[in-house]
Structure 1
Amino acid sequence: MGTFKIEGGHQLKGKIQPQGAKNEALQILCAVLLTPELVTINNIPDIVDVNKLISLLKKLGVKVEKLSKGTYTFKADKVNLEYLESDAFKVDGRGLRGSIMIVGPLLARFGKGYIPKPGGDKIGRRRLDTHFEGLIKLGANFRYSKEDQFYGVEADKLTGTYMLLEEASVTGTANIVMAAVLAQGQTTIYNAACEPYLQQLCKMLNRMGAKISGVGSNMLIIDGVDSLGGTDHTMLPDMIEIGSWIGLAAMTKSELTITNVSWNDLGLIPSVFRKLGITVEKRGDDIHIPAHTDGYEIQSFIDGSILTISDAPWPGFTPDLLSIILVVATQARGSVLIHQKMFESRLFFVDKLIDMGAKIILCDPHRATVIGHDFKSTLKATTMTSPDIRAGVSLLIAALSAKGTSTIMNIEQIDRGYENIDERLRAIGAHIERL
């Protein structure tokens, strides 16, 4: 188990470039299975979850070539379908949650797709019903082995249809879209997810020859085509990492510039941080955070009631940043209610912040009230364990702001979503060591 040793209390300074988007990469990489032609993908982040998926594609028979840092070619002209029913696949497929999105492309192109129950963060129930209900509506036959938790869908052909999704699941929408592009006839998906990364997938598929309209809205209309061709695709910067660096700058009273952030794809992220009193300046396509030497003050609602920050499907505020918001609020002036609606176990890491001296009331599995210290009382260094990707980075930010030396164990969770985070933080002045 890897460990970070962090000496906190130091101001940082400089520029930091966000990596390619993890959540986009997991969708885009699965889409290469839809064509036998060459697909080139740029700005792929070098992180554990993405590298696991690339390894899985190789085992499926996809030819993968690394051209340069972050740029790969993929050619799925000889896919090994026998691997899908092997014991090795039942182990490999469980390694990350994003593997679920190979099912739609495989079903559409080869008539069958299988997956063991995927792993990922332990942040509460994350149902797969939306994925399989959508594929069933397209004409697939579903089977599930309870004994080894193995899912399968098969179909001689897929036929377009109308469907209203029970939840605006990003990965569920992606899976259904990738199946529908090769279905016969027209498919309408209402209550579809419309995150920028899902938009990126649709734009890529359209360049490959798909016919998807309504991109960016919650209603997608897809006219099926017979086949798709190759393309070249560049991924957006990771909005979750961008939000993490904003929070890091505020908590350490540091002046940081986050470069090439794709402002138009950040949604509510800048405005939510501004509600915490953080200055977020737009400089071209960069974000500049000045040093908050006098701290930052949480706004109230117009009627004077306590500010509530909650997550919601896009264009609402992303749930992946609520952990960062919560940590940043521990040193603000004022109080805020954090309402994590989508995952019932994601706030349980706050006990570690309470051990560090934060004033947090965990109301229930979904809500926590944070009373800020206004930097009058700094967080105390401690030893802790990272429970998931986003909580892990939140604890890392807390440790970098705390006085003394902290230890974070199980940093493999952080490595799943953040590329070479210790090296990049040292480059802007952080005192962090990987043990």
Structure 2
Amino acid sequence: MSNLIVHGGTPLKGRVIPSANKNAVLPILCGTLLSREPIRLKGIPESTDVRKILEVFRKLGSQVEVNYETGILDVHHRDTHFDAATDRLPEEMRSSIMLVPGLMARFGAARIEDDVKGCTLGAREIDPHVEVFERFGAAVERQPDGLTLKVDGKLRANKHWTDYASVTTTENFILCAALAEGTSTLTNAASEPHVQEFTQFMQMLGAKIEGQGTSRVTIHGVDKLGGGEFTFAEDFHEIVTFLALGAITGGDVRVKNSQPEQFPLLDRTFAKFGVNIVHEDGWSRCEAQFPLKVKEPFTRNILQKVEAAPWPYLPVDLLPIFVALGVKAEGSVMFWNKVYDGAMGWTSELAKFGGHAFQADPHRIITFGGKPLTPAEVESPYIIRVAIALVMVAASTPGRSVIRNATPVRRAHPNFAENIRRLGAQIEWVEGD
């Protein structure tokens, strides 16, 4: 177990450069498996999930050279091998399911472990992924410890309409379609920024993709993919997180942001808490009146609300960040997670700080902010940005707080503590129980 010790009450100030987006990095890493040519990735983060994927590559015989100080990864899958009977994929990271298309295309076989999982966000089914694999021609067989998938010949193109706009299902469809025979079309595709970054990488390899960034994507299968060099963009999740840390502590934080065109809805969401976001010269800055105050709706009989759903809604991954602002800001806000049914059950941890948050149902909570907060020892669920939201509340509260089981932070943000320490935060990792 890794805990974060936070001595709060210091306004955070300064500049910070975010790392790459985990949700772009992992599918791109999985996508490299489709190519037999050398590939260089620039800006690779030293996260636990990245390390696990690269270890899988090494075990399968791929050439992997990585320098986390420079952020450069060279990977070559020319001599890669795979045996579905003996080789295992990581169970503790949901993104390992995106290795399946490359394995099926290269070796005609793959497997899905029984316990493949990610953050504890509620029911996260694998059926949509299995359905995609079957539509491309995979025969699926249940084994005592997972599923095996076998393909006779090349993957076969198809048209598919998903039940909902799932990011990972969309990426798995594109990975399968890239080398399939014929033209494939996906309707109700996810369009998040990290999905668009993933499609840009696939196009760099030679994949023929139309409609990226929309809900209907068409992929024309090619015989093979090439190599090349790709540079990751800044993670918009980290950008929002650092800006929110500046706002909640009454500080002045500027964050490198080369894609402000992704931020209009995020900016308006910050404004609901009295925070103005300014984008200029490749940087974003928070300007907040302190103490924070919730903006009253013009409709008098409703609460201010923040609704999160698949892009172009506010991303559900960022909802906890704004919940932290809601606990701090004077006023009431309803938060609505329209995707996951198990991501809102951490209000009891906010209460340990003195925060007032009421869980209305599995999808909605209401914060009654502006209450006096005191330092506390809290337990984070295994959800990346809930751990960070608890850090935010701790950082805004004078005194020593402990965020127990903060390990999920390292899955996405390897230098999180170091970055906010440079902004003036007193924070440190402590290993052990």
Give yes or no for contact 2:273–2:292 (8 Å, CA) kept in 1.
no
Give yes or no for contact 1:39–1:231 (8 Å, CA) kept in 2.
yes
User: Match for residue 27 of structure 1?
Assistant: 27
Residue by residue over 1:351-388, the C-alpha shift from the partner in whole angstroms, topping out at 9 and shown as x without a partner, is: 10012111111111111011111xxx432111112212
Amino acid at match of 1:11: P
Amino acid at match of 1:142: V
- Equivalent-residue separation in structure 2 for 1:358 and 1:384 (angstroms): 12
Amino acid at match of 1:222: I
User: Match for residue 307 of structure 1?
Assistant: 304
Range that drifts further, 323-332 or 198-207:
198-207
Give yes or no for contact 1:255–1:290 (8 Å, CA) kept in 2.
yes
Please list, as runs of the form range in 1=range in 2, the aligned pairs for 1:143-182 lying within 5 A after superposition.
143-145=141-143, 147-182=144-179
- Equivalent-residue separation in structure 2 for 1:44 and 1:234 (angstroms): 9
Give yes or no for contact 1:386–1:414 (8 Å, CA) kept in 2.
no
Is 2:391 aligned against 1:396? yes
Range that drifts further, 291-300 or 227-236:
291-300
- Equivalent-residue separation in structure 1 for 2:164 and 2:257 (angstroms): 32
Amino acid at match of 2:398: K
SS in 2 for 1:280: strand
Instruction: Give the Å deviation of 1:21.
Output: 0.7
User: Match for residue 4 of structure 2?
Assistant: 4
Instruction: Give the Å deviation of 1:261.
Output: 4.5
Give yes or no for contact 1:131–1:173 (8 Å, CA) kept in 2.
no
- Equivalent-residue separation in structure 2 for 1:310 and 1:94 (angstroms): 31
Amino acid at match of 1:386: S
User: Match for residue 379 of structure 1?
Assistant: 373
Give yes or no for contact 2:52–2:90 (8 Å, CA) kept in 1.
no
Shift in alpha-carbon separation, 1:419–1:226, aligned structure 2, 3 A: same
Aligned to 1:133, which of 112, 131, 138?
A: 131
Please list, as runs of the form range in 1=range in 2, the aligned pairs for 1:2-401 lying within 5 A after superposition.
2-67=2-67, 69-82=70-83, 84-86=84-86, 89-90=87-88, 92-117=89-114, 118-145=116-143, 147-266=144-263, 268-290=265-287, 292-300=289-297, 302=299, 305-373=302-370, 377-387=371-381, 388-401=383-396
- Equivalent-residue separation in structure 2 for 1:267 and 1:214 (angstroms): 22
Point out 4+ residue stretches in structure 1 off by more than 6 angstroms: none
- Equivalent-residue separation in structure 1 for 2:241 and 2:10 (angstroms): 17
- Equivalent-residue separation in structure 2 for 1:298 and 1:359 (angstroms): 18
Amino acid at match of 1:75: H
Residue by residue over 1:227-271, the C-alpha shift from the partner in whole angstroms, topping out at 9 and shown as x without a partner, is: 110021111211111111122111111111111342123462222
- Equivalent-residue separation in structure 2 for 1:260 and 1:320 (angstroms): 19
SS in 1 for 2:322: helix
Give yes or no for contact 1:162–1:188 (8 Å, CA) kept in 2.
yes
- Equivalent-residue separation in structure 2 for 1:93 and 1:151 (angstroms): 15
User: Match for residue 404 of structure 2?
Assistant: 409
- Equivalent-residue separation in structure 2 for 1:295 and 1:337 (angstroms): 16
- Equivalent-residue separation in structure 1 for 2:420 and 2:347 (angstroms): 23
Amino acid at match of 2:325: V
SS in 1 for 2:153: coil
Is 2:428 aligned against 1:429? no
Structure 2, unmatched stretches of 5+, are none
Range that drifts further, 147-156 or 9-18:
147-156
Shift in alpha-carbon separation, 1:61–1:115, aligned structure 2, 3 A: farther
Give yes or no for contact 1:32–1:39 (8 Å, CA) kept in 2.
yes
Instruction: Give the Å deviation of 1:323.
Output: 0.7
Amino acid at match of 2:79: K
- Equivalent-residue separation in structure 2 for 1:174 and 1:12 (angstroms): 37
Residue by residue over 1:7-40, the C-alpha shift from the partner in whole angstroms, topping out at 9 and shown as x without a partner, is: 1111111111111111000110001101110111
Structure 1, unmatched stretches of 5+, are none
Structure 1 vs Structure 2 CA RMSD: 1.7
How many pairs align? 427
Residue by residue over 1:40-76, the C-alpha shift from the partner in whole angstroms, topping out at 9 and shown as x without a partner, is: 1111121111221121222222211125521101100
SS in 2 for 1:31: helix
Give yes or no for contact 1:108–1:180 (8 Å, CA) kept in 2.
no
- Equivalent-residue separation in structure 1 for 2:258 and 2:426 (angstroms): 25
Shift in alpha-carbon separation, 1:327–1:155, aligned structure 2, 3 A: farther
Instruction: Give the Å deviation of 1:291.
Output: 5.0
Amino acid at match of 1:27: P
Give yes or no for contact 1:128–1:172 (8 Å, CA) kept in 2.
no
- Equivalent-residue separation in structure 2 for 1:267 and 1:135 (angstroms): 36
- Equivalent-residue separation in structure 1 for 2:163 and 2:57 (angstroms): 30
- Equivalent-residue separation in structure 2 for 1:171 and 1:45 (angstroms): 20
- Equivalent-residue separation in structure 2 for 1:235 and 1:381 (angstroms): 37
- Equivalent-residue separation in structure 1 for 2:35 and 2:398 (angstroms): 53
**TM-score between the two structures when normalised by the length of structure 1:** 0.94
Range that drifts further, 360-369 or 55-64:
55-64
Range that drifts further, 326-335 or 257-266:
257-266
Instruction: Give the Å deviation of 1:293.
Output: 2.8
- Equivalent-residue separation in structure 2 for 1:301 and 1:49 (angstroms): 44
Range that drifts further, 187-196 or 117-126:
117-126
- Equivalent-residue separation in structure 2 for 1:425 and 1:202 (angstroms): 31
SS in 2 for 1:152: strand
